Amino acid sequence: MMAQFTKRQWLTLIVISIADFANAICVSLQAPFYPQEAEKKGASPSEYGLVFGIFEFIVFIISPLYGQYLHRIGPKLLFNGGILTTGTCAIFFGLLDKVNGHYPFIILSFVIRIVEAMGNAAFLTASFAIIAKEFPDNVATTFASLETFFGLGLIVGPTVGGILYQVGGYTTPFVVLGSALFTTAVMTIFILPVHSNNNQTNPNTVGVKKALRIPGVLIATSSIIATSMSIGFLQATLEPHLRQFDLSPIVLGLMFVINGGTYAITAPAWGWLCDKHSHPKVATVAGCILVVIGFMLVGPAPFIPCPTLLWMTICGLVVHGLGMAAQLVASFTDALRTSIQYGFPNNLETYGLISGLWTSTFALGAFIGPSVAGILLDNIGFRNATMFIVLLHMLVGAIAAVFLSTCTLRRKPYTEINATTEDPRTPLTDSCQSRSGSYRHQPSPRGGQGVPIVDRPSGMNSLIVCNSYSNRAGAWSRASYSGRYSHSYGSIETKRYLEMTT
């Protein structure tokens, strides 16, 4: 599959992979090194906790705006600007130890994190849109491959950062790795291809509110929020839960990369399955089941009659990594396909919209997850608190399964038109959508003539094709491309014969 990529596609894939890896390294540096420095300046855990939380909140707010105007700004400009901003802020964040005073330190921390969040949101939104633009037939696989590099960056960042921290103190890891990201941004300016939006659309045809009115898109975004909440839950509560084992700092650090490493390794496989072998919502249901099993093992669940065991916790983290890979990879592909199926244009404007929506909803879950986790941990303990994530994913998985089964049972190829309300000479519009996402009217994509209803046999006048995604390549759709009617439609086999009979 990858061997069939063009030179432009390979160039795009390599550049974004490097940028994803470098960006993840810089984003992952704050958690291991900032809290200790903040406490030296007199900051309380609540204050520097908000410094972390404000990042996700800004991403949640700003990402839909980037997605809505990406076709006007241009994905390359947004991509490069986002990386440059993130790299510069990472360097500045490393200079905070030079700031004297409690309040100046906290205020500058907030300012830098807010600007860094704006840059990170721009980079992520643009990169997802570029993926959809450049790899229309392999969106899930490519998206998953890039997420692998991002996951590896999250693992490498704290490891390399720890070495640099021991060598040169607080400033060194931020300046060195931030400079690496800045250099990557400069490289992308010259290497990343320009991605133009060739299809001009009515601005009223797309929008976040309109996308969220589509049931399939709403389920996909719910899956994203639930998954990111599960990740944030463990980030906030796993370390207190593991204190009972008295682990060394190195082993404790490794516990935090188990699910991320599993995610990075297995995401491409889920992407391949979504692209080639199964509906994305099947992967969503499977992911929900895996996350439920994972959280039942990590605690373990209060109804499992055994104490907390380290090997069981490790198994739970591995299963959670499998589940979150399935849900995150499937959700982006599902939201994009479903929105196009429901009439959104298959162009850069829609790609930007869905990219911004994915980034925003993930950040929302990442903001809510740790907040809820802390409250539950204080009041009911870790084992009981995990039931919140378990029940949430059971709900999302059940809704996705019902939606999937309902759509499968309801799939009908044709709908009857009321002859008393429709003008029989009005051209029949094929509601199945082409790869461009727009409705196909009378002209054939290969230049053939359209077929008005009056020229069809009478049996055809009462039939139109169902607008389900799977029927976009159905019999009537194939006929519009080939100039022939399907044999299943009756005795009329060729358009030439039809013209002779009329």
The confidence score (pLDDT) of residue 426 equals: 40
Q: Are residues 155 and 186 in the same domain?
A: yes
In whole angstroms, what is the distance from residue 413 CA to residue 488 CA?
12
In whole angstroms, what is the distance from residue 229 CA to residue 392 CA?
10
Kindly report the CATH number assigned to the domain that includes residue 125: 1.20.1250.20
In whole angstroms, what is the distance from residue 27 CA to residue 95 CA?
16
In whole angstroms, what is the distance from residue 204 CA to residue 90 CA?
38
Token code pair at residue 108: 């500058």
- In tens digits, the chain (502 residues) has pLDDT values of 455 778 788 888 888 888 888 888 887 777 677 777 888 888 877 777 778 778 888 888 888 888 878 878 888 888 888 889 998 999 999 898 888 888 899 899 999 999 998 998 888 888 878 887 778 777 777 777 777 788 788 777 777 887 888 888 888 888 888 888 888 888 888 877 776 655 554 545 567 778 888 888 888 888 989 988 888 888 777 877 887 888 776 677 677 778 777 887 888 888 788 777 778 888 889 999 999 999 999 888 888 888 888 888 889 999 998 898 888 888 888 888 888 888 887 777 777 788 778 888 888 888 888 778 877 887 888 888 889 999 999 999 999 888 888 865 554 443 444 444 444 444 433 333 433 333 334 444 334 444 443 433 333 333 333 333 334 444 433 333 344 333 333 433 444 434 444 4
Task: Give the end of a domain, one of 163, 195, 227.
Answer: 195
Q: In terms of residues, how long is the chain? A: 502
In whole angstroms, what is the distance from residue 443 CA to residue 460 CA?
18
DSSP annotation of 431 reads E
Per the listing, tokens 């916790």 go with 313
The confidence score (pLDDT) of residue 249 equals: 65
Q: Are residues 233 and 150 in the same domain?
A: no
Residue 498 lies in a domain: no
Residue 444 lies in a domain: no
CA–CA distances in Å: residue 461 to residues 283, 321, 483: 39, 52, 18
Q: Are residues 49 and 183 in the same domain?
A: yes
Q: Are residues 184 and 215 in the same domain?
A: no
Task: Give the end of a domain, one of 408, 436, 455.
Answer: 408
Range of the domain at 188: 1-195
Q: Are residues 173 and 316 in the same domain?
A: no
Q: Are residues 215 and 349 in the same domain?
A: yes
C-alpha torsion sign, points 9, 10, 15, 17? positive
3-state secondary structure 181-201: HHHHHHHHHHHCCCCCCCCCC
Residue 430 lies in a domain: no
Residue 417 lies in a domain: no
Residue 438 lies in a domain: no
Please state whether 447 falls in left (phi above 0), alpha (psi between -120 and 50) or beta: left
Q: What is the pTM of this model?
A: 0.65
DSSP 3-state of 458? helix
DSSP H helices, 342-380, are 348-380
**CB within 8 A of 425, min separation 6: which ones?**
452, 453, 454
Residue 481 lies in a domain: no
Q: Are residues 357 and 400 in the same domain?
A: yes
Residue 219 lies in a domain: yes
Q: Are residues 260 and 330 in the same domain?
A: yes
Number of other CB atoms surrounding residue 384 within 10 Å: 14
Task: Give the end of a domain, one of 195, 227, 247.
Answer: 195
Q: Are residues 262 and 311 in the same domain?
A: yes
The domain tally of the chain equals: 2
In whole angstroms, what is the distance from residue 366 CA to residue 388 CA?
15
The confidence score (pLDDT) of residue 443 equals: 42
Identity at 479, one-letter amino acid code: A
Q: What angle do CA 284, 287, 293 make, to 5 degrees?
A: 145
Task: Report strand pairing: 430-433 vs 439-440.
Answer: antiparallel
Task: Give 49: exposed, middle or buried? Use CB within 10 Å, 0-12, 13-18, 19+.
Answer: middle
Q: Are residues 231 and 138 in the same domain?
A: no
Give bridge partners of residue 430 from the DSSP assignment: 440
Q: Are residues 190 and 212 in the same domain?
A: no
Residue 419 lies in a domain: no
* Among candidate residues 215, 197, 207, 195, the one with its CA nearest the CA of residue 341: 215
Q: What angle do CA 468, 469, 474 make, to 5 degrees?
A: 80
Are the beta carbons of 283 and 326 closer than 8 angstroms?
Answer: yes
Q: Are residues 145 and 293 in the same domain?
A: no
